[in-house]
Each structure stands twice: as structure tokens, then as C-alpha cells.
A and B are shown apart, each in its own frame.
Chain A
Amino acid sequence: MSSYHLDHLQYLETEAIHIMREVAAEFERPALLFSGGKDSICLLRLAEKAFRPSDIPMPFLNVETGHEFPELIEFRDRRAQQLGAKLIVRTVDQAIANGTAMPAPGEISRNKLQIPVLLGAIEEFRFDCAIGGARRDEEKARAKERFFSFRDAFGQWDPKNQRPEIWNLYNARLNPGENMRVFPLSNWTEMDVWEYIKKEKLEVPNIYFSHRRDCFRRGGQWLPVPPSHTDATKPDPYEGARPKSNEPIKSMVVRVRTIADMISTGMIESPADSVDDIIAEVSAARVTERGTRADDKASEAAMEDRKKAGYF
């Protein structure tokens, strides 16, 4: 400590804490997007470091597609309770039911449908800021994001007209109806996240670790077989996402590297069953994390288009 020198994780941590506190001080009604995934798990620890011994001065918000891994939901709810935080959940199902989200004909993934649900929640609770766990190393369009990403009254991102961010001075001023997305982990890499999880001894959902699961091959990825449809009075939420007769089911030893929902998360074959194993695997990995995300494969500009429409 007396070397007056920060290592890279300590530097990333102090930068992120500074940003968290700017949010608490500059916005009236911020929210923290918490999915239970590894990035937002780090956000929670940073929030504790920024605000303790006080309560974390903002509720947690999660948008469910309805296709979540049950392990993730259980973890999310438990973690929010442990931290004494208020957890707000809004779902694509509700939004479809009340007509604010319209599925495209034939589209199984509900990834894009999260956009109107998120914007609806921001409006419902009059949130002026949402903190998210996105990182610039994830994707080319994210590489151009600011820490404080300004969104107009329609929630849109305009990459050609972003506010310059100079030094550590963040312009948080908004007019009514506008809002801000803030990304404290902008400068973190996948490796930094896992090293931080190790250093802070953070619990992560067990689907990140190696386990046996039934999978099938589609679109160059191993997708998990969805839970069976039991309630015959309702339509099958996983219709179209179940293996077809020419897609044989295989029992495999797998884990997730990044979590979207069950429909858009490819499983990777892996024996890694500890954080140390995962760190070794990430450092040897030859494919990017987003390489296992079906939602990004649509086109080279898939993320850019979703972000312009209001995606996180």
C-alpha cells in the first residue's frame, strides 16, 4: 500500500466507484440494471464500495425475456435480498399482453423486445439514469460508447453526436424526458471481470461452472434444451426454440461464458468448475465472449442497430 501505486484492478475499481458516486449525486432517480450475470455482479460490489455504510441509493431493475435460466432468477432475487435492495422486474410477457411490445412474425428471440420493456420501465418509474454493466471490449459498437451515454426522449443512441468525455468530468445534465445510460465497467475486459470476481470472492450463478446438460446444435452453437412445457392451458413459451427431429439431443459437460437467455446463449464445452479454471480458460480462449451470442450474429452491425433503438 505504501508504494502509492495502483495495480490495474485497483485503478479500474476507483474509476468505477467515482462514476457510481457521480450517478448518485447528479441524478434524481437512478436505477441499476441487475440481471444476475457476471458483469452486473461486479456492479453490485462496486455499489457497495461506493455507498456503504449507507444503503445503495437506487433500486435494481431487470427486464425478463421469459426465457431465463431459472438458476439466474434464483440468484438475482437472493442477491438483491441480501443487499437489502429493492428489485423491480418487468417482463416481455407483460409488455406483449398489454400491447407495448409486438413480436415480429416468426422471430423466436425476444432480445429486441427487451427494448420497449426497458423504455417502458424507465417511463413508469421516471428513471433519469440506468447503470448497466456493458463493457467496451465486448463488441465493436460498444467500443465507441461513453461512460455517460446520452439518450434522447425516444431512448435513442446517436453515435455521431455523443458528448465528448474529457478527464473524469462527466456531463450529466438532462432536459425532461431525456435519460442517461451509465457504464462504470466500460474499461473492463472479460479477464478483468473474472479477476475481480476472484479477488472479491464474489458468488456467481452455478451455470457459469461446468455441469451436465442436454444440448442441441443450431446455427453453429450448442443451445440448451428448454424446460419441458407442462401447463397445457398456456401456449409453449419456447415454441420454435425446441430441438427439431433433425437436431439430436446430446448430453454434454458445458458451461455458459456469457448469459443472455436460454434461446440466445450458446453453451461451451468446458470442464472449468472454479473461478481459477475459468480464468485459465479465458486467458487461453481463441473465440471472443460474444462469439457465443446468437443475438449478435444477425449482422455485423447488429449491436449498433439495437443500441440506436434504445438497447443498453
Chain B
Amino acid sequence: MPASHPVELLRFNTCGSVDDGKSTLIGRLLYDSKSLMEDQIEALERSADLTGGGQINLANLTDGLRAEREQGITIDVAYRYFATPRRKFIVADTPGHVQYTRNMVTGASTANLSIVLVDARQGVIEQSRRHTYIASLLRIPHLVIAINKMDLVDWSESRFIEIRDEFETFLPRLDMKDVKFIPISALNGDNVVEPSKKTPWYVGPTLLGHLESLHIGSDWNLNGFRLPVQWVNRPNNPTDRELHDFRGLSGQIAGGIVKVGQKIMVLPSGFKSTVKQIWTYDGPVEEAFCPQSVTLVLEHDLDISRGDMIVGLDGLPGAGTELRATVCWMNPRPLQRGRKYFLKHTSQTVQVMVSALESRIDIRSYDAQPEPPELAMNDIGEVRLKTARPLIYDGYNINRLTGSFILIEQGTNATVAAGMLHPALEAVKPEYNDFAI
């Protein structure tokens, strides 16, 4: 295979209601892009014989667990991998049942693109509105509305336009920049990999053509340098003088670009220093960018530990113990005012108390209901939180990595919520400890 140009990775998730054909669509992408192997096709044919129909059921490729095959549903996020000469793809197959919204949040959180599947016969249903809302809430950069089962509405252009218009009644309320509508039949493969002869009225790309060509180079935040310190790298090697004094700050860059010689600030202490070296296993580099994993060496020997954040001097992040956030609740035990949790944000974990429940979002109308008594499983709402230590953060709308957190229940250690921070009202105001410069 000639690999003359670098191959990019695109991550997407599929969401839709039960029987919208998500698993069939993924099976179709794998099958038509020739990513399936003989033994997988054999296993498919075996199960087709067993279930009687004799026709290959593409959904059996993704419904991996026995419990799922027995019940004919997908109970958890399943990840699939396929490649074309132009791109590699990671697919998160997320179930559509109401009670599994948490799985969609999980699958979508790392995605460049979401595919919302709609049954052409049913049009927009509550699940379509929920999935589109979650995609916008998580700020997935790209959205595809795949109108499936077009064969069952006689490939009607007017039906396609009708459904698109239904979406247009609420899409403007959501912050989605890039939305594409594609008429498909996952079962028969029309407009999935090959253009369909049955939709002469549709002039856009096939689904795979779109996935292969859309611009994803700007999906990472390259403004405002952020390095949450993950691990302090101290070899403490007494036999090697150079290593004995080595003190590196390791982490994955969560935003922006860093260069040797650049002035930086360490938060929350506010100490300033200069980047002396960007150390990597493959040798020192002059600059590094989000989301690379690096080890920084600073000019000054400062007291820095896991949970601190190294930032550029332009565009400082926010800081504080009083936070506002939108949360998606993921646990059967509801969220109530006054409860305490652990909050994990970048590389630190702090104790947090829920000081107020401000609203619950009604997924049908997208309206906020003020002051709900609690947030139940799969509810989305706005809350106020008070942390035991100040958090250094950005609004989720600015930076997905420094603006996101999870809540962990104390005692069971269950992950109970995904949270997106609202922008801080003011930037961090460090005490001026300028002596390090």
C-alpha cells in the first residue's frame, strides 16, 4: 500500500432510535469498504442460517455480546475500526434507547462527527431531537443526518425535504456549524459507499465520501497553551549527573502550542518561568502542540506537582471554587442539592458539593425548567458546584479538554456525571510572584 501522504484518523459515532438501522449501517460500511474478513462473513452466514431467514444480518457484526444477540439490542458502546486509502476510522456504535443516553455521551465525547440516523417513514422523533441536542451540547464539530430506509418511502425527494425541514425548525436553536443531510438505505447500501441510482435528485456525496473528505484539521484547539501536569518525571539517578538533576513535567497538551524559550505560568501558584527544553523520547523538539504528549523542562526549579496547569501568558484560563456547569446525569441514584462528589478535571481530582440545581433541560422543547428537585438518570441540567480547591479551567465552548469533568460517587466510585463548564466570569489573577523570571 503506498503511504506517501499521512493518513488521518476520523472518529465518529452513530446514534438513532431502536431499529433505525445503526448496526446495519456500520455493518454496511465495513462490508462495502471491504473491511470484513472471511471468518467474520462466515460467522454472519452461520447465524443467518440459525435464525432461519437465511439472509445475512449485518447488525450481528456489531451486536457482540450474547445478551444483546438474545434480546436483539445493543447494550453498550461498541467500537469498530475500518480504513480506506484516505482515512482510518474509529466508530462508536451507541445505542438509542432512552435509558442509554449516557452511552451516547460516552461515544460522542471523543468524536469529530456524529451521524444521527432517522427512519424515513417516521421522520423526526423524540430520540432524534435528543441525539442532535447531545451532539451540539458536546460540541461535536460535524453532524450528519442520515435519512435511512429511503427504499421504504419509494425514494421520495419530497419526504427527504419534509424531514430536513423538520430538523430546520430546531437546528437554529443549537450551536451546530456543519450539518449534512444524506438520503440512504443502509440495508441495500444506497449512498453509503456507492452513489445510488435511485436518488437522481440528490447531488451530494455518499456517506463514506463525506467521511473521507471533510476537513477535520481544525478540530483541536490550537489557541492558548495548556498543559495539565500529569506526572513529574524525576529519574533521581545518582550515577548520572545530568539525569540526577533532571526534572520534567509530563502531560498531554490540552490546548495551543508551546515553544522552547516561551514564557509560561504555573497555576494555581502563579510562578512564571521559561521553557528550557521540550523533551521527547525521540529527542528534543523546538515546539509541540495539542494533543501531543510531551515532557517540559523549565528554566527554574519550581514546586510543581500533578494537577497543576502550565499555561501560556496570553489568554489566561479561569480559576475559582464556584463553578457553573451543564451536566448529563448517568446514574440511577439522582443528583440532588447538597450532595458531595469527587470531581475529576484534567489531571486533578477535588471534592465538590452541588450547591444548586438551576435548571433541567426539556429534551422535547429544549426549554429549561427552573429549579428542578433533582436530576434523574439521563437528565441534562445546569448546576452550581463548589469545589474544595480552586479549579483552573476554561469554558467547554473554548476548550473541550480543559472545560470538561466527570463526577465520581464517593463510596461506590461510580462515574455518575459528565460535566461541561461554563466560561469563568474572570480570568485567573495570580499573585505576582515575579522572582522566577
Residues of A within 8 A of B (CB): 1-2, 4-8, 10-15, 17-18, 21-22, 24-25, 48-55, 136-137, 140-141, 143-144, 159-160, 162-169, 171, 173-175, 186-187, 189, 191-192, 279-280, 283, 285-288, 291, 300-301, 304
Contact = CB atoms under 8 A, between A and B. Distances in A.
A171 B406 contact: yes
Contacts of B342: 173
Contacts of A10: 292
16 contacts: A2-B287, A14-B252, A15-B291, A21-B231, A21-B252, A22-B347, A54-B233, A54-B235, A136-B79, A160-B75, A160-B76, A167-B109, A280-B1, A288-B39, A288-B40, A304-B66
B257 A141 contact: no
A130 to B, nearest CB: 18
Contact of B64 (A22, A141, A192): A141
Contacts of B257: 4
A55 B234 CA distance: 9
B98 interface: no
A144 B8 contact: no
Contact of A187 (B75, B90, B236, B408): B90
Contact of A53 (B40, B243, B330): B243
A192 to B, nearest CB: 8
B29 interface: no
A14 B292 contact: yes
Most buried by A among B234, B243, B252: B252
A287 B65 contact: no
B306 A187 contact: no
A191 B9 CA distance: 14
A206 to B, nearest CB: 24
A21 B294 CA distance: 11
Contact of B280 (A15, A49, A279, A280): A49
Interface in B283-318: 285, 287, 289, 291-293, 306
B437 to A, nearest CB: 27
A186 B92 CA distance: 13
Nearest to A22: B230
Contacts of B418: 164, 166-167
Contacts, number: 177
Contact of A291 (B39, B291, B349, B415): B39
B360 interface: no
Interface stretch (B100-108, B168-176, B177-185, B383-391): B100-108
Contacts of B414: 163
Contacts of B349: 173
Given A140-B65, A164-B415, 12 more contacts: A5-B8, A8-B6, A12-B9, A14-B293, A21-B231, A49-B280, A53-B246, A143-B80, A144-B65, A166-B404, A291-B37, A300-B43
A17 B37 contact: no
B367 interface: no
B67 interface: yes
Interface in B18-41: 37-40
B341 to A, nearest CB: 11
A141 B408 CA distance: 26
Given A1-B287, A21-B293, A191-B83, A164 B330 contact: yes
B154 to A, nearest CB: 36
B222 interface: yes
Contacts of B282: 49
Contacts of A5: 6, 8, 217
Sort A-B residue pairs by CB-CB distance and give the 5 closest, nearest first.
A140-B64, A7-B6, A17-B293, A8-B9, A173-B413
